[in-house]
Amino acid sequence: MCLVFVCDEEERVLGSQQAPGACPYCGGRVVATDVETQWRFCFLPFYFKDKRRYTCAVCTRQLARCS
């Protein structure tokens, strides 16, 4: 049996750009942000994952999350 505990999770913004379309809630512009997530297991960087998040620039709602 192997137990693994996540001690820390750190997110770093790699970049952002305007995405096509409009917010379905307020009609504002959509911003695509690339984020790198680093999980640390007892202070050892072990796992990296890149994500693209879509948010509204006006109402700041998170619209979708894609891998």
Alpha-carbon separation of residue 9 from 38, 52, 57, 60, 65 (angstroms) = 6, 17, 25, 23, 18
pTM over 0.85? The answer is no
Query: Residue 2: inside a domain, yes or no?
Result: no
Whether 18 and 28 have beta carbons less than 8 Å apart is answered as: no
Number of residues that this document lists for the chain: 67
- The phi and psi torsions of 61 (rounded to 5 degrees) equal -80, 145
In a domain, 37, yes or no: yes
Is residue 6 predicted with pLDDT exceeding 60? no
What integer pLDDT is reported at residue 29 of this predicted model?
A: 95
DSSP-derived secondary structure for 2-35: ------EEEEEEEEEEEEEEE-TTT-PEEEEEEE
Quote the number of domains for the chain.
1
Residue 67 lies in a domain: no
Render pLDDT for 23-47 as a digit per residue (tens, 0 to 9): 999 999 999 999 988 877 765 666 7
The pLDDT value recorded for residue 15 is: 93
